Chain A
Amino acid sequence: MKLFNETKSKIIGLFLKENLKFTLISIFIGFLIGSITLAVAGFNPFRAYAIMFSGVFGRLNYIAWVIIRSTPLILTGLSIAFAFKTGLFNIGAEGQFIIGALVAALAGYFIQLPAILHIPVVILLAASAAALWGGIAGYLKAKFGVHEVIATIMLNWIALYLTNFVVTLEAVQRPARPVSHNIQPTASLMFFQQWKVTEEGRAWLLDNFLAREILRTPFNAGILFAVILAVVVWYILKHTTLGYELKAVGLNKHAAEYAGINVQKNIVRAMLISGALAGMAGAFHVLGNTQRVAILAAMEGFGFNGIAVALIGGSTAIGVVFSALLFGALQYGGTKIQLALGAPTEVINIMIGTIVFFIAIPRLIKILLAKFSKKRGEDNA
């Protein structure tokens, strides 16, 4: 109950915060620039946004899709935000995601256990492997002073090629397909995955419109885990000695060292946790959605998009959840304007870039606001 009250007041506090105001204004400017871009390219921006809006909220299954899409972004966003809080720039969430997904696919396929055990075991294994992957960068930084930005960039590519190597192993690859075997149903997080394709399930769904709408998507339990993990991250940073130490190291490692905090250990710990979060993003993506991993021709961007998510979310746990949903909605809604208007989806990237850009410069927004309010004041006079 106490926790609940604190959470509530925290959320209220958040909305009163200046930062949130700047974020909202940045988002507004993002849409503004997006509409200018669309108009220049000869598309009606109002129509485009209307289509995007109904493309996101118009049907239950659209909303389900946005949530499915946002789930991994919440976690990679959390991973990066967590690292930011501890003074590290984890460009490697992408690689940790890949490793988490790979291990989840392997453990989901090879291990035979009842669902109640299988799911936690798979998640744990995936999170641990990705934690180690992130931990390598942490260790290299702590021990050898290797910049985590370089180490994680390298580890991203190594993860990609490692996945491609493992997926092509005979035991792993589905015959003649560039993908791994599907995970066992016991490891799946998709809701009613088996049942919804049975005769009975189909029949039931035919009569239940709402359930049908949602269940025609790979709607899964990942979002629940993601939100729970967001709360856990918030709790760690706010209420535990671990979070206190990690933040102290991030904010001033010299003072932390002086106060008896082991800086090296905490750098490694931070990267382990950050890696675990990104790894779980990969795991939920596999367990909830794809059910397998594929040979990767290029990075898929879950980690890189997570950077933007973390930044838009102000590197706070709650902020990340909302910004991941925004991000997911923009990406999903963006495809709709292509279908309806033939407008290029790149406009979404331009919008996201603009939002992040303005989030970087609250000062300009402040100046703009001051001008705006002054002008209004003059008008009133």
Chain B
Amino acid sequence: MLESLAFIIGTTLMYSTPLIFTALGGVISENSGVINIGLEGMMTMGAFVGATVAYFTGNPWLAFLAAGLAAALLALLHAVASVTYSANQVVSGIAINFLGPGIALFLSRMFFDGATMTKPIPLGGTMPRPFHNLFIWLSENLSGTAGRMFESNSVIDLIFDQDATVFIALISVFAVWFVLYKTKIGLRIRAVGEHPKSADTLGINVTKIRYFCVMASGMFAGFGGAALSIAIVANFRQTLVSGHGFIALAAMIFGKWKPQGAMWACMLFGAANALVVFFGRAASPIQISQQLLSMLPYILTLIVLTGIVGRANAPKALGVPYEKDSN
């Protein structure tokens, strides 16, 4: 029983990790006032670059960073359009969603003999699990109950023996929250998202902050993609991301543009999927058609949303380009 619960929690964490990264990206960009509907495209870019770098170098950390960097570069396009050239941010984001996968698959064909998938990442090239060896050591060296607590498939093992990305994601939530609400730059970011002109009159460089945020947004979306391609699985293929970016976008709005809110929304979604897996197994006490069960996460999200009273508070200047010489 307890193990079942632990499994559901563990699966929730695994499933929601790529979403959390990506939704955090959305949080950062949108708090500075730039809509980022291009998360899906940025995530695809990150997933591809992560898998490719991991394949060629065998170094997951380098791959992870490269994924963030590549997606940030893609985000730079979005920043140029929406910050410098006052683009319609939704349109620019949609463009990113064509460009990201387009470029990623194009490059994939160049690097992998025409394939739209990468080769499997060699052993050791994927994200390590930081507690894995510790738990094994503990279970072998502690005696009695204490040892059993860390055994494979024990509650602790099921919940905590996760890819490093899971912990990085959770830390990132805290870090983004901290930056947004506890630091100078965070105050400025939020000011720019709410009232860019006010920030400008106080000598804050709106353009710089928005560039920074949009690129950070890309970086996190890239991390999200990499969390799929080098942690959950060990390769990239065309269909790997399929829709996760949009789910993260929804989670970000659902979480009312707050890092912790976005995280909970992603976890809700992850938990719903964990339940689908749990109830979908043969031994499950309830037997429902798999297709009906698959709808659960989406229906659940809709229901929860209607239950949330009041409208979500988007940053006031969200989607409005800031132009200096106008009233």
- Give CA–CA (A353, B100) in the complex, Å: 9
Q: Which of B169-177, B193-201, B243-251 lies at the binding interface?
A: B243-251
Residues of A within 8 A of B86 (CB): 361, 363
- Known A145-B311, A150-B301, A168-B291; contact A350-B94, beta-carbon cutoff 8 A: no
- Give CA–CA (A347, B106) in the complex, Å: 7
- Give CA–CA (A162, B298) in the complex, Å: 12
Q: Is the CB of A360 within 8 A of B95?
A: yes
Q: Is the CB of B298 within 8 A of A154?
A: yes
- Give CA–CA (A138, B299) in the complex, Å: 16
Residues of B within 8 A of A308 (CB): 94, 98
Does A354 interact with chain B (Cβ within 8 Å)? Answer: yes
Q: Is the CB of B101 within 8 A of A349?
A: yes
Q: Is the CB of A364 within 8 A of B85?
A: yes
What is the chain A residue whose CB lies nearest that of B250? A150
A84-128 vs B, Cβ < 8 Å mask (1 yes, 0 no): 000001010000000000000000000000000000000000000
Does B179 interact with chain A (Cβ within 8 Å)? Answer: no
- Give CA–CA (A199, B243) in the complex, Å: 47
Q: Is the CB of A140 within 8 A of B302?
A: yes
Residues of A within 8 A of B87 (CB): 360-361, 363
List residues of A (242-291) whose CB comes within 8 Å of B's CBs.
none
- Give CA–CA (A356, B97) in the complex, Å: 10
Q: Is the CB of B94 within 8 A of A311?
A: yes
Count of residues in B whose CB is under 8 Å from the partner chain: 51
- Known A161-B291, A360-B92; contact A350-B98, beta-carbon cutoff 8 A: yes
- Give CA–CA (A150, B312) in the complex, Å: 12
What is the chain B residue whose CB lies nearest that of A163? B291
Q: Is the CB of A161 within 8 A of B295?
A: yes
Interface residues on A, range: 35 or more
Q: Separation in Å of the A137 CB from the closest CB of chain B?
A: 9
Chain B interface helix/strand/loop/mixed? helix
- Give CA–CA (A260, B321) in the complex, Å: 31
- Give CA–CA (A125, B99) in the complex, Å: 37
A89, A298, A360: which contacts B239 (Cβ < 8 A)? Answer: A298
Q: Is the CB of A356 within 8 A of B91?
A: yes
Q: Separation in Å of the B250 CB from the closest CB of chain A?
A: 4
B283-326 vs A, Cβ < 8 Å mask (1 yes, 0 no): 00000010110110111011001101011100000000000000
- Known A41-B106, A308-B94, A364-B85; contact A153-B247, beta-carbon cutoff 8 A: yes
Q: Separation in Å of the B47 CB from the closest CB of chain A?
A: 15
6 contacts between A and B (CB under 8 A): A153-B250, A350-B99, A350-B102, A353-B100, A356-B92, A360-B91
Q: Across chains A and B, which 7 residue pairs bring their CB atoms closest together, nearest first?
A: A353-B98, A349-B102, A353-B99, A357-B95, A165-B291, A360-B91, A360-B87
